[in-house]
Structure 1
C-alpha cells in the first residue's frame, strides 16, 4: 500500500494520472491531514529535482536522494517514514498552538493597539473593528490607533501580513510601512515588509491597490495577480505577473518558492525560523530553487531538501547557519 501511494503521488506530479487513477489520488489525498502532509513533503522532494535544470544536475540530485534512501533502508525504515524523514513532518504539530501577543499604549493622539505574530504552524489572524481580517506572519508587528475607522482606516506594519479588507467605500484602508503606503477599498493582498529586508513585496489577489513608494516619482496601481517589488538598496521597482494564491499559502503553513534565488529563500526562512544565514559564496546566492516547505519542518530538514537540489555544505550552530559550496 505504501508503494501504491508513492506511485500515485509521483504519477500526479508527473501528470501521468488519468481517469480512475486520478480519482484514486484525489480520494486518497483528501482522506486525512497526514495524507495531505505526505503529499506536500513528497512534492518538495520532487521539486528539488525539477526538470528545469540540465540532465547532469538532475542526475546528481537523484543520486544524492538515492544515497540517503539507501542509508535509511539499512535501518529498515518503511517508505513513508523515509520520505517524512527528508521532509520532516511535524509529529508534534497538534500540540503546538499559535500565539498572538496583544498590548496597548498611549502614543500621540490616541490609544495604540499592537499585535505581534507568534510562531505557530499557521498564521495568527486578527479581526479589526470593521471586520477586516489580517493574517500575521512570523515576527510581525502590526498596529492601529483609536482613530481607526473614523474618516479612514490606517494600520502600521513591520513584517508580513495578508489582508482581507472589509468594504467601506467612504473609508479607505491604508497600510503604512517604513517606505510605502498601500491604499485599498475592498480587496485581498499580501505585504512583505520586514524592516531589515532589502525587498518590499506587495502581491494582489483581488480588487485593486494604489502603492505610493518613497523615492519613486509615480504611484503604482496593482491588478489581480500582479506583484510589486521595491528594492530599498537600489531604489528601483519591478512589476510582474504571478499566481497570487501561491504567495499567501504561508497563512496555512506552506511556503512556496517559485524559481527563486537561494539568497531570496534564505531571507524568507530567516524570518520564519528566526535564524541567521551566512553564505560563503556569492555564486551560491544566485543559484535558483523551486519548492514548497511546510512550517513544521526543522531548519535542518529544509537544508537537506535544498541540498538535494543545490550541492551545498551547511553547519547549524544554534540560531546560525553557515552555507558553503561542496
Structure 2
C-alpha cells in the first residue's frame, strides 16, 4: 500500500490532480504555522523511503503551489504536510483511502456522510471538516450519501469537475485514465461545475453530466441509474463501450494486466451485463463469444490477447 501510494505521489502523469487536491486543503484549512519546516523536509526522506528527492525536485517545488509533501501511511491514513511558498505554512491531517483493484470499501466521513468507493480509486479527506465547506478529493469512482448541513456544503473535487451538495446521493466516476468524468444524481439536488471554463449545471434526480477531458466539453444526459449503481451491487456492466475500454474496466475489477498489440481492436461499442458472481474467465469467455476473433491466455495476473 505504501509503495503504491508513493508511486502515485511522484507520478507526473497525475500531477495536476495532486496539485489541485493539496491546494484545496491549503485553501480550506484554518490557521498557519512556520514551525519545523526543515524537520518536515527530513521526514519526506525518512517516511517516503527515499534517500533523496533530487529526481523529483521540479515537481515538489512548483511555483505558487507547495514546496514539500510528507506522505506517511499509517493503516489507512496518510498525513500530508506541505507549505506554501509565500512563507505561509500549514499542517493538515489528511486521511487517504486507496481501494485496490478487485476491492470495494464503505467509508464513513467525519461528518457522518457515507461513501462507497469502487476498485482502483483514491479518496482524500481531512481528519476533521473545518471552514465553510466539507471538501473531499476523488480519483476513481465512488457513491456519496451526504449528511445534510446547509451551513457547510459538501464538495467533491476531481481533476476537472466539482460537485457541490447540501444533502443528497450521487455517483462520480473520475478515473485518471478515462477520457470522461461523469457525475450522476440519484436523490436530492447538486451543482456540477466542469472544466476551466466553469460551466455549471443544477441536476435533478436521474440526470448526469459527462465531461470530456480531452475536448474540454460537457453535456447533460438522462442516466440509466441501474447501470450507474451496478458496481455497488457487485455487477459488471459494459454500456456502449469499446473493447479497449472493457479491458481497462476489467483491470480495475480483477486486478489483472492485459497485453495486446496497439490497434488490435476496432472502435465498435458493446453492451454486456454480468452478475456479481461472474469470474474473470467467465467474463472473457462471454467477450470471446460476443466479439469474435478474441483469443486470450491467462498467466497468473497477466492476460495476453491475440
Name the TM-score, length of structure 2 as normaliser. 0.65
Q: Secondary structure at 2:284's aligned position in 1?
A: helix
User: Hey, what's the Cα distance between the residues in 2 that align with 1:234 and 1:322?
Assistant: 32
Shift in Å, 1:279 = 5.1
**Alignment of 1:246 onto 2:218:** no
**Alignment of 1:212 onto 2:186:** no
Q: Which residue of 2 aligns with 1:190?
A: 171
Deviations 1:130-167 (A, max 9, x none): 22110011121112114515421111111111101111
Q: Secondary structure at 1:304's aligned position in 2?
A: helix
Shift in Å, 1:169 = 1.1
Q: Which residue of 1 aligns with 2:77?
A: 103
Shift in Å, 1:103 = 1.4
**Alignment of 1:151 onto 2:125:** no
- Aligned-residue CA RMSD (Å): 2.4
Once the two structures are superposed, the pairs formed by residues 134-173 of structure 1 within 5 Å of their partners are 134-173=115-154
Q: Is the 1:104–1:112 contact (alpha carbons within 8 Å) kept by the matching residues of 2?
A: yes
Q: Is the 1:287–1:310 contact (alpha carbons within 8 Å) kept by the matching residues of 2?
A: no
Name the TM-score, length of structure 1 as normaliser. 0.61
Q: Which residue of 2 aligns with 1:314?
A: 296
Cα distance change on mapping 1:285 and 1:323 into 2, 3 Å? farther
User: Hey, what's the Cα distance between the residues in 2 that align with 1:309 and 1:218?
Assistant: 39
Q: Secondary structure at 2:79's aligned position in 1?
A: strand
User: Hey, what's the Cα distance between the residues in 1 that align with 2:182 and 2:295?
Assistant: 30
Q: Secondary structure at 1:263's aligned position in 2?
A: helix
**Alignment of 1:266 onto 2:250:** no
- In structure 1, runs of 5+ residues without a counterpart are 1-100
Once the two structures are superposed, the pairs formed by residues 1-326 of structure 1 within 5 Å of their partners are 102-107=76-81, 108-118=90-100, 123-278=104-259, 280=261, 282=263, 284-311=265-292, 312-324=294-306
Q: Secondary structure at 1:246's aligned position in 2?
A: helix
Q: Is the 1:205–1:245 contact (alpha carbons within 8 Å) kept by the matching residues of 2?
A: no
User: Hey, what's the Cα distance between the residues in 2 that align with 1:226 and 1:260?
Assistant: 20
Shift in Å, 1:281 = 7.2
Q: Which has the larger radius of gyration?
A: 1
Q: Is the 2:102–2:254 contact (alpha carbons within 8 Å) kept by the matching residues of 1?
A: no
Cα distance change on mapping 1:307 and 1:139 into 2, 3 Å? same
User: Hey, what's the Cα distance between the residues in 2 that align with 1:280 and 1:120?
Assistant: 25
Cα distance change on mapping 1:160 and 1:285 into 2, 3 Å? farther
User: Hey, what's the Cα distance between the residues in 2 that align with 1:296 and 1:128?
Assistant: 30
- In structure 2, runs of 5+ residues without a counterpart are 1-74, 82-89
Cα distance change on mapping 1:199 and 1:319 into 2, 3 Å? farther
